[in-house]
Each structure stands twice: as C-alpha cells, then as structure tokens.
Structure 1
Amino acid sequence: MQPQDVAQRHAPTSTGTADPVVDVEQAEAALVEHYPRLVRLAYLVLPPGIGRSRRVLTAHALVQRALPRGRTSASVIPAQSTGRDGDAGYAFVRLRVVRTALEAGLPLRRRAWPKRSQLPPLLPQVWGLRLFPRSGGADELALDQRLAALSGPARAAYVLRGLEKLPDADAHRVLTAAGVADPEAALAQANAVPAQYALLDSPEFDPCSLQARPTDLMRRRQHTKAAIAAAAAIAVCGALVALPGDGWGPDGAAAPVYAQNPAAEAALDPGRLIRVAPTAWKSSARTDFSVWPARGALAQDTGLLRRALAVWARPGESVRVSATPGTQTGGPAGPPQLLYAGDVDNARVVLLHDGLRIARYAEPKDGTHGAALDFARVDGAAGPEASALVLSRADGNVRYLTAPWVTKAAERDLRKPSSGAMDLDLTDGVTAPQASPVQQPEACTAWNVLQLTDASGTHLSTDLGELVPARLTSGRPGSADAAKSTGTEALATWAPFACSLAAQRSGGVRSVNAWAYADQALPEAAGTADWVCTRAETWRGAGTAVLAQFHTPGGRYGAVAAKATDVTACGPRDPHVLAGVLWKSEAGSWYLLAAGSSDTASIRTTGGVTASAQGRVLTARTKQGTQATLTGTLDDGTPLAALR
C-alpha cells in the first residue's frame, strides 16, 4: 500500500465533497514554510527512549521524507493557526509526520520487516557531534517526563491539541487517519497530563535550535585506529570495550569505556568516595558542604554509586544533563564526597560534592533508562547557603536534604506573612514534601518557602528550579539587618513581591535580598506607597538582576518600575537606588512618582516632564505615556542614576 493510498483511505467523507488534491509542489511548499513546526511536532511525538540526539535527527528525517510521490488527496482536517488554515498541503504533510512518528515508536518484530521509520535515519547524519535542544526550566522538564510516560498515540493527541490547536474532534480524525486503533483512549490518556500547552513552544522542544557536544572522543580515536589496523588490532579494541577491569561492573546509563586511565578510575571508584564522619561538623570551624556526613539507606550500595560516578564521567545519550549557568559538567578531578544515596519518591538518588559543585544523579527504581544528571555551583557556600539541597521534585512538591546542624524545618507562605510556619518532619536530614513554587500554576496565589532553624537563628530559602535553593534576606545591603529574613518587618517586606521571584527561575541564583528603601505619600490622599528593591546574586557573579518595585495600598502584588542587570546599585558596593513610575489616581489623573534611598538629597526629571524636588521623593503631574529622564544627587553631592 502506497502512502498516498493510506491518506486517501482515511480521508473523512462526512462533508459530502471530494478531498482537495495535493501535488508534490504544494506539499513541498507547505513543508518548507512550516518546517520548524513540523519538526517540533515529530520530535514531541517520537518516543523519548531513543535518546535526544537520535530523536532530533529522526524528527528531521521524518519531515524530510513526508512528501508524496505524486498527486494525492489530503484530509480536510483544518489547521488552526494563522497561515495554515485550509492548507491541504500542510494537512497532508502533518498527517504523514504523525503517522511515521508513531510507527517509529513501535517495537520491532521477529517475523516482520521493519518499517523505514523504525530504523535509524540514513539522512540527515552528523559525524563527531551530539545534537540536542537547549535545556528548559523545571516546568519543561516535568512536562517532558509526563509525556514520556504516555503511549505514542496519547503523546500525539496531547501535541495535536496543544501545538496544533486542534479540537478533540479534529485530533480524533488525525489519529484515525494516522492508523491509531483507539483514538478515544489516546485522547483520554492525554487528559491525565496538565494542559501546559504554552510550554510546547519552549526551546526545550525545538529540534531546530540545537546545542552541540562532541561524541566520545576516545571512542573516535579508537575507531580511527581500528580502521587502519589489521583484524587482530580490531579484536583487541573489541576486547577493551567488553573488558570491565578489576572490580568494575555494569555502568547503567553511562557511555562505554574505550580507554582506561588510572587517575580517572580512582575518581570513579566507589570504594574511594570521601565519607565524612557523622559528628565531624560539631568540632569543625566550617559550616559548608565539606562537613556533611554521608546519609541515606543506599550509602553502601556499590552498584548504585558506581553507576552514578560512571554517568558523571561519561553520560550516555539517554541521560538528561542540566547545569546552572556557569557550571562545568565534566567529571570529577578526584574522588568526590558522598552526601546522600537513597530511595526518594520514585527514584534512586545520589548526591555528590567535589569541592566546587554538587552533582545529583537520579535513576528510576525499575532500571537506569531515563536517568538524569544535574549540576550546581556551590563554591564559597557556607552557613545558610549550605543548609539544604533539593533531593527530588514530584507531583508539584519538593523534598530537601538539610545540613546536619539544622534542628528544625518548616514551610511558610511568603505571600501571607501572618499565617505562620508549618513544621516539616525531618528523617535523617530529609524533609517531608512541601509545595514547590516553581511547579505551581501560572496564577501566583502562594509562594511556599523553606524555613530552617539552626544554632545561628532562622533562615528562609526558596526553590527556583535548581539543586541549591536560593537564600532570601531583607534589609539595606551591607548592613547587619540584611541577613534577616524571618522577622515581622522582613516578612511584611517580602509579601507583595514574593511572586517576582519567578523571574529568577533557573538562573543560577545564590541569594535574593529585598530592601524597602522608601515610602511615598500618594497624591489625592490615596495612601502611602512602598518602594522595594530586590537584588538577585548568582553563583557565577555575572548576571545579577536588580528590580525596583512599587506597591500601592490594597494591591496584592508589587509592580516592576525598573530593572537592570549586572549593576552595583541596590547592593553592598552601592547601597543606593532611584526609580520612577507613572501612576493613575482613582480620579483618572496621571502622575510621575519617583523615590530614592534614604541618602538621596534631590531628584530631577527632564524630557516629557520637567520637575525637581528636594529630598528622596518626587511627585509631578503628567499625562499617560509620558517619557522622562530621572537623575538624583546624594547627600555628599555624588550623582545618582536611575534604574531603567
């Protein structure tokens, strides 16, 4: 049966009219115009188990082979996005892509010839590089894991709904035309996945915007020698591949070993892992990860530890690798320190520390397929910054492993400072699950943070989608009060601005400080507004984000008035800030409001509004949409530039 015969057989006839005829030129035009969308569609429907690199190349191959051999009829199922409505060529090519992507996920049978889509693509091919899409955030990772758990038809149903915007009736017809035996079951199974359709447009699922990494360089070198050497040399290389070595067993999701190095073997030998005594932290002057003891029920599981170390050194194609910005992902230079190994939710988790980084290895309890490897920088971490690590995220919750000096853990809603904290059980340093703010719906109704208590006091941290939670503080930068985060004043400062932390997700953030630097009486007796500056410091130093935010009485959230990146303002080196905002009164009048930190002597505005004021606040009548330039002067005469 030819491909065009399949399309014609399944073409719907309920309209009572003939299906539009598609020729090669029309299909090619649709394919070229919508190539990125079609490749994304194929990538999302393909089974994740084949590995990201092969999945990328297979998606491109399926789309490039989707042209008909001649004139054929196309399904009249409409496209739902501007530019594709009623395009019979696009409808036909899309159907071919969905059908072949579903076929690629079918298991091979002994007594049947494999279909072309079930074999690795001949073209395109890339030699010497592994290609994979850019990593997204925690939401994209969670969605990818949920889609991986679906059957191929259910994934196709979800993607047709979310990416193609097809209603269920049209998605049902596409699935039927693609040869799905039970479209109703596929649609019902897709209903189990939250409708986070906007995430399907993320770079995480874009096979046309790729990152490149080398393949196993040692393997390539050995292959080159094997091509030149005689049959005996080839046999030796094959023996090296199969030879495990003394005391070395299967490495699970790790890539094969093609050459052995004594120093590298020492770093990856489970027997040489650094294990700190449980009471070492009590007599140490340090309060960092170097004095964390090895914990977890699987801390003596040599097989699990060997797999974790092997994957760290050479992750296979099926391993999902992520790292905070500025973090190296190479193997350890020497034997790392074991922090934890145990069962957490539905996975086996290993946490390792090499002095500069935390590495988290996780594998399913029923095997190693789908293993993940995550990295985070922790150089210079001490005290509250070294008090907790993320163990797992599941079902919208997060579990932490806490430092041995932590005596109490609790969960607090930063949006509701007066609601108090809810205690979390601690079992061998592992917290009970708490709601993770990075996995909550888009509507920010709550922002749950981790509250830890130790001998030095009580501290707040928040999950921002990375291994190390970001520390939260409040107060004037550089002052003693800046370390506070759980006092009444500090909690009240954070409450209207907690949801702005969402902008710092997956950015390698080390700490965020909120500073209430000014308050201002609003015109027309509308009450008093608060000005708060939040500064997010990163582990790599660069990428510091500063937001000046404005909150009016009765408002649930603060509004961002100005923002800047990689500036010293609102920080210990430059504890000053100036920002302005256009504000509309209840009577409909517009005002330019500006405020500076406490040592601001005067403020001036030019451009659309010309006004000046002595002191730290300025109020000027203006019009909607006015553009103005703010400048200020400090008490010592130093100019003060406004955040933009």
Structure 2
Amino acid sequence: MHLRSFRPAAVRPRAREAESVLVEQYGDLVRLAHLVLPASLGRHRRVLAAHSLVQRALPRVRATPGLPTVPRPRGEASGRQTVQRSLLVEVLRAALAHGRRPRPWPARFAPSGALVPRMPFVVGLRMFPRSGGLDEPDLARRLSDMSAAARAACLLRAVHGLSDDTVHHLLESAGVADPAAALSTARLLEAVPGGAVAALLSSQEFDACALQVGPTDLLRRSRRSRLGLGVAAMGLAAATLVVTVAGDTTPGPSAPTAEAAAAPTNVVRTAAGVWDNTSRVDFTAWPARGSRVNDKKLLGRALSTWARPPAGSRVRLAPATSAAAPTNAPLLLYAGDGADRTVVLLYDGTRLARYSESLSSAENTELSVARTDDADVTTAAAVALDSDKSSTRYLLAPWIAEAGTRDLLRPDVLARPLRMSKDGVTEPVPTMPAGGGCDSRPVLQLRSSERIAEHHSFLLAGLGDLSPVHLTYTPLPGRGRPPHQPREATGTAALVAWAHQACALGSLGNTGVRAVNAWDFAEQHLPDGGGQAVWTCARADTWRGPGDVTVALRTSRDAPDAPALTVAHARSTATCSRFGQHIVATTGWRSPSGHWYVLAAGSRAVTGLSVSGSVSASEEGRTLALPAPRRPHVKVVARLATGGQLDAVSSP
C-alpha cells in the first residue's frame, strides 16, 4: 500500500482548481491583503507581507479535503466560486491575524515539509505602490482610522461587488467578531456620490502588484558597510596580534564622539537623484548644494560651532530643541555665499542647523538649531537661508518644480512667480510683518514635481523659524458624507477661509510651529439679517508635539480680508486634531440691529446644545442663537451622537 492512497482522489483536481483561481484572482487577493494589513508595517513590508499571505493561502486551501465552509447565498454556483470564496477567507483570516503575531519573521512548515519564510527576501530594494492623485491619500487616512475588518468590508463591497450578506458570511468565516459593525462602518465611508470610493480603491495607490522600486537608505547602507569592514579588520587584527600593556592607564580609542562628528571629512552627502528614487521624501533626500560644499575649512568651522559654540557666537535654539552636539556626522544640505554672509546648512536626522558667518571674515558667527522630527514632502520643502527685516531667501527642496508667492489677504489675486537659482535658492521673499500691522501676509506657494505627485501645490508661511509653516484647510462637513480630512490650502474655499485667519499668523512667529490647519466645522444662519456665519478652528501643531487651537467666527457681511472674530482659545490640547474630532464653541454676538444673542455651534457629531448662565435653554441640532442681555456669560454643553457630552472650548 502506498501512502498516496490515503489522500482522496478529489484533492488533486481541487488543488489544480485552487491554483488556477489564485493565479486568476491574484491581483485582487493581494489588494485585499494589502488593505487589511496594518499601516504600521510600513509600505515596503506591507507589500511583501500581502504577497506572502496570498501565496501561503494556496497550500492551506488545497491541503484541506473539505474546503473551508463559507455559506453562500441561495442559487450560487458551488464549484469555482466556492474555491474563490475559500481563498478570500484564508487571505482575510491571515491578514487580520497578522498584527497579533508576537514575532514579525517567524517560519512555518508547509504541508510538504519545506520551510517557508513569512515574507519574500528582498535585499537593497524598497517596493511600494505607485502614488495616485490627491484624493487617494485622503481616502487612505480615512481607512487608517477604521478597523481592519471594516476596511475589508469596504473593499469587498465596493470593488468586488459582493452583497452585504456575502460579505457578512466571509467576515464571519474569517473570524471577525462583529461583522455587522464592520459593514456599518464601511457603508458610512462609501456614502460618497458617484461611486468615488470604488474608483479610488481600484487605483494604483492601493494596488500592491503595480509597484515602484527604489533603493534602501543608501547612507545607512554605506555606514553599515564601513562598520562591517571595520569590525572585520579589528577581528583580524585581534586574531593575529595580542598586545598586553601592564599598568598603562592611557585611555584607548573610544566610540564616535562630538569630535569625530565635527570632522569635515566625515560629513555625509546625498547623491543628486536620490529624491526621485526613494519612498522617504524628506531632508535625507536633499543633495549637497552651493558653491562652497567642498570648502573644508568652512565646513570645519560650522561643525565645530555646532559641537562647541565658541565665545561670542550667537546661538538660537527653537522651542524644545536640544543644544547637544550631533553624535554622528550630519548631512550637508548647503554651503554657499549670500548677499553679505556665508551660510552652511546641516541636518542630523532630527534637527536642522544653520551656521552663518561674515562674508569678509570668519567672524560674527551665528548658529540656529531647530527640530524637524518626521518632516515630509511639504514640511521639508523649504528652509530659510538668511533673513533681514523685510525679506527672506529660501533654499527649496530638489523636488520643487515651481515656486511663487501670494498674499493671503488677497485670495482672488494669483500667485506671483518666484525666481530661484540652479541650486534652489530663491530671490528675496517679503517677510510676514510681526506686530500689530496686518497690511499683507505673504506666503510661498510651491508645486511638487510630477514625479512626487501630480498637481500637488501647497502653501508655506515663513514665521521666523528655519522651516516655514505648512498651511492646510478642512472644509465644512457635507451632509451624509464621511468627515473631510485636511487638504492643501490652495482652493478657492481654502483661500477665502485663510484670508480671515491670516492676521493671526503673526502671533506664531518663532514658536516652533510645524503646520496650521483651518477647519470650518460649522455654518449658521444669523438672526436680524446677520447673514451666514462660519465657525473655524485653527489648530497650530508644533514640532515638539503639542498644539494650540483658536476658534473664530466670520460672517458673510465681513470684508474679504477682515480678521475673523476670535471666540475661544486653548493651549496644549488635542481638540481639532485626529485625536480630538469633536468641538463646540460659543460667543456673545451683537446683530446689525443692535440686539445681543448667544451663539453656539458644534461639529458634525453634535446632536444637541444646552445653555446655562445669562440665559438657559436646550435645543436639538448643531447650532443655536438665543436672545441675551448685553455681553452674556454662559456655559454651553453639547450632546454627541456617541452618547457623551462635550464642554465648549474656553473663551479667551
């Protein structure tokens, strides 16, 4: 008797059919696994894991004489479609369980006994899906806030076209505890007119088979190679020569120190084309530019000043920025001459350092150091090279294809083209006035190369720090639509909103702000012919983490550049961020006819408002306007759709 006689004869035909279905549906299965896997894996590992899970689903399906039981709607074919559903279940089950595994790279024995690694082994390359348009990142952010099961339900309904009953059965078979909740969440996301979610999920942004390939971190690889060679040489020397020194207290060579990091020969340089072939688009992709990048004496002075500022040097640290010397040789971004000073720009992985000295002599030195944690394609797009009372020159990132300036107070005036040198240095840009005056609010309007993202323009506001502040905008919530996400502040509605917020930017100078988002969270009809009011929460996020919010009110009767009325302010709060998505605010308001009212408004999850104090009332809905005595003092509490309560943001 042969061992093969114990296997049912139907297994081999079923195995061939399962393999045929997997090959035919491979792209759809990989897309599903890629969407369900946690984004915390990173784009490269997520792609590899998706392909591995799909390929490993085949042995599990074909090795099972009775395929996994997946209930089917009545009247559905049972052959090929059952195999397809079984593969979906296996891929779903593995992807959902992936994040719960204690070790990222365990091995597994296939039924044949061969050792199979969890992921394909790739050396020297990073693989990730190609970038889509501007809507795909917004959808990806919304998906990241959903559970893995809800993401799966959304894809199965929108792209695979499966019914709710079928999706419910698939999720249940894959071990999802509450398939109904996942389906409900998916329906909320898909409530977008025109089937936009299905089209976006079918795009190349979510296609883990249409990949872009780039190198790994070349600088890190180079350092590791040098370290490996050094260790090997030290091992060889230790194996061939042993020196015993008795009673010698002279210290031997130590680990890399500030002195080693300050050596100009150790400075790191990035090749010119790296930004076009990497998934990490930040300061590490900047090449060394400027006419004096090979001036070792200049670089030595800059590095030693950062390591140990000499007496007489002016040192400026951004808020919450360490003054410690870099422990590793920093990356050289720029070294060149300006109008009256020589500037060197360095980056150590978390901080930017700008060294400058007099053009005529190596005196009158200045050093500015600022945090740039997790900078990205926008927040690493420009650095202030030098400034005076009226203007600033910027060094732009190599991926900037077009630059201009515009005045936020004039939203209907197009951006003016901005000239820049071959090294990426701009002509002087007017400085945003600091103080009480608000005649203009000049900002940079930059456009990324199409190799990064098509039609990607964004605004940066220079407020005195090394890195200008990224300005974004979140529009009013749409009825029956998923919550909007912050977007670039270059559209008409965004520019109109920022025209009323621009004057407040002057107070953020030299405070370490990374980005400011203006969120129009509510719209309200005002009594006594007051027109329409829009409530805005402007959140200023800092490089160090905490953020402040300012709530303001503007009306349709205001001039286009009139500053909005500030009604509330809060410091170091999560309000108006992804971790504080609900808000309610209130203010006293005098109508054009001279009557006083209490106004209150809340974000989309607010279902009712209760007022106490100068007036008392309770109303359903997101807004209210109540007659009140002059300059009323009230407390407002909102009722949320989740069943909780929320106090209004405190008044200034």
TM-score normalized with structure 1 length: 0.58
Secondary structure, counterpart of 2:488 in structure 1: coil
Q: Is the contact made by 2:292 and 2:336 (CA closer than 8 Å) also made in structure 1?
A: yes
Q: Is the contact made by 2:529 and 2:592 (CA closer than 8 Å) also made in structure 1?
A: no
Q: Which amino acid aligns with 1:463?
A: G
Q: CA deviation at 1:636?
A: 2.7
2:548 corresponding residue in structure 1 = 545
In the aligned structure 1, how far is the partner of 2:321 from the partner of 2:606?
Answer: 39
Residues 479 and 270 (structure 1 numbering): CA distance in 2 closer, same or farther, change over 3 Å? farther
Q: Is the contact made by 2:606 and 2:622 (CA closer than 8 Å) also made in structure 1?
A: yes
1:34-433 map, 5 Å: 263-427=257-421, 428-433=423-428
2:569 corresponding residue in structure 1 = 563
In the aligned structure 1, how far is the partner of 2:486 from the partner of 2:379?
Answer: 15
In the aligned structure 1, how far is the partner of 2:266 from the partner of 2:333?
Answer: 14
Q: Is the contact made by 2:264 and 2:299 (CA closer than 8 Å) also made in structure 1?
A: yes
In the aligned structure 2, how far is the partner of 1:311 from the partner of 1:605?
Answer: 59
In the aligned structure 1, how far is the partner of 2:255 from the partner of 2:356?
Answer: 26
Offset from partner CA, 1:163-201 (integer Å, 9 cap, x none):
xxxxxxxxxxxxxxxxxxxxxxxxxxxxxxxxxxxxxxx
Secondary structure, counterpart of 1:311 in structure 2: helix
Among candidates 445, 451, 455, match of residue 445 of structure 2: 451
2:465 corresponding residue in structure 1 = 466
Residues 300 and 594 (structure 1 numbering): CA distance in 2 closer, same or farther, change over 3 Å? same
Question: RMSD of the TM alignment (CA)?
Answer: 1.9
Among candidates 501, 505, 508, match of residue 509 of structure 2: 505
Secondary structure, counterpart of 1:383 in structure 2: coil
Offset from partner CA, 1:344-398 (integer Å, 9 cap, x none):
2211100000001000001111223321110111121111111111111124111
Residues 325 and 479 (structure 1 numbering): CA distance in 2 closer, same or farther, change over 3 Å? farther
Q: CA deviation at 1:262?
A: 6.9
Residues 622 and 480 (structure 1 numbering): CA distance in 2 closer, same or farther, change over 3 Å? closer
Q: Is the contact made by 1:318 and 1:369 (CA closer than 8 Å) also made in structure 2?
A: no
Unaligned runs of 5+ in 1: 1-259
In the aligned structure 2, how far is the partner of 1:363 from the partner of 1:624?
Answer: 58
Residues 490 and 333 (structure 1 numbering): CA distance in 2 closer, same or farther, change over 3 Å? same
In the aligned structure 2, how far is the partner of 1:307 from the partner of 1:377?
Answer: 21
In the aligned structure 2, how far is the partner of 1:568 from the partner of 1:386?
Answer: 24
Among candidates 637, 640, 643, match of residue 631 of structure 1: 637
Seq. identity, %: 39
Q: Which amino acid aligns with 1:471?
A: H
Q: Which amino acid aligns with 2:281?
A: T
1:195 corresponding residue in structure 2 = none
Secondary structure, counterpart of 1:295 in structure 2: coil
1:571-590 map, 5 Å: 571-590=577-596
Offset from partner CA, 1:185-224 (integer Å, 9 cap, x none):
xxxxxxxxxxxxxxxxxxxxxxxxxxxxxxxxxxxxxxxx
Q: Which amino acid aligns with 2:513?
A: V
Q: CA deviation at 1:298?
A: 1.1
Q: Which amino acid aligns with 1:576?
A: H
1:618 corresponding residue in structure 2 = 624
Offset from partner CA, 1:541-587 (integer Å, 9 cap, x none):
12x10111011222411011001112222111122211111111233
Q: CA deviation at 1:434?
A: 1.0
Q: Which amino acid aligns with 2:428?
A: P
Q: Which amino acid aligns with 1:538?
A: T
Q: CA deviation at 1:479?
A: 5.6
Secondary structure, counterpart of 2:384 in structure 1: strand
Residues 297 and 480 (structure 1 numbering): CA distance in 2 closer, same or farther, change over 3 Å? farther
In the aligned structure 2, how far is the partner of 1:554 from the partner of 1:547?
Answer: 19
Among candidates 525, 530, 554, match of residue 529 of structure 2: 525
Q: Which amino acid aligns with 1:489?
A: A
In the aligned structure 2, how far is the partner of 1:545 from the partner of 1:498?
Answer: 16
Q: CA deviation at 1:599?
A: 2.4
Unaligned runs of 5+ in 2: 1-253
Offset from partner CA, 1:603-633 (integer Å, 9 cap, x none):
1110122122211111111122321111101
In the aligned structure 2, how far is the partner of 1:287 from the partner of 1:554?
Answer: 41
Equivalent pairs counted in the alignment come to: 384
In the aligned structure 1, how far is the partner of 2:435 from the partner of 2:418?
Answer: 23
TM-score normalized with structure 2 length: 0.57
Secondary structure, counterpart of 1:338 in structure 2: strand
Q: CA deviation at 1:423?
A: 0.8
In the aligned structure 2, how far is the partner of 1:309 from the partner of 1:295?
Answer: 17
Residues 489 and 434 (structure 1 numbering): CA distance in 2 closer, same or farther, change over 3 Å? same
Offset from partner CA, 1:122-142 (integer Å, 9 cap, x none):
xxxxxxxxxxxxxxxxxxxxx
Secondary structure, counterpart of 1:525 in structure 2: coil
Q: CA deviation at 1:264?
A: 2.8
Offset from partner CA, 1:259-313 (integer Å, 9 cap, x none):
x997333211111110111112121221010110000111111121111111111
In the aligned structure 2, how far is the partner of 1:597 from the partner of 1:278?
Answer: 46
Runs of 4+ in 1 over 6 A off after TM superposition: none
Offset from partner CA, 1:311-357 (integer Å, 9 cap, x none):
11111231111111111011110111100011122111000000010
In the aligned structure 2, how far is the partner of 1:490 from the partner of 1:598?
Answer: 19
In the aligned structure 2, how far is the partner of 1:318 from the partner of 1:376?
Answer: 20
1:3 corresponding residue in structure 2 = none
Q: Is the contact made by 1:396 and 1:440 (CA closer than 8 Å) also made in structure 2?
A: no
Residues 399 and 479 (structure 1 numbering): CA distance in 2 closer, same or farther, change over 3 Å? farther
Offset from partner CA, 1:19-77 (integer Å, 9 cap, x none):
xxxxxxxxxxxxxxxxxxxxxxxxxxxxxxxxxxxxxxxxxxxxxxxxxxxxxxxxxxx
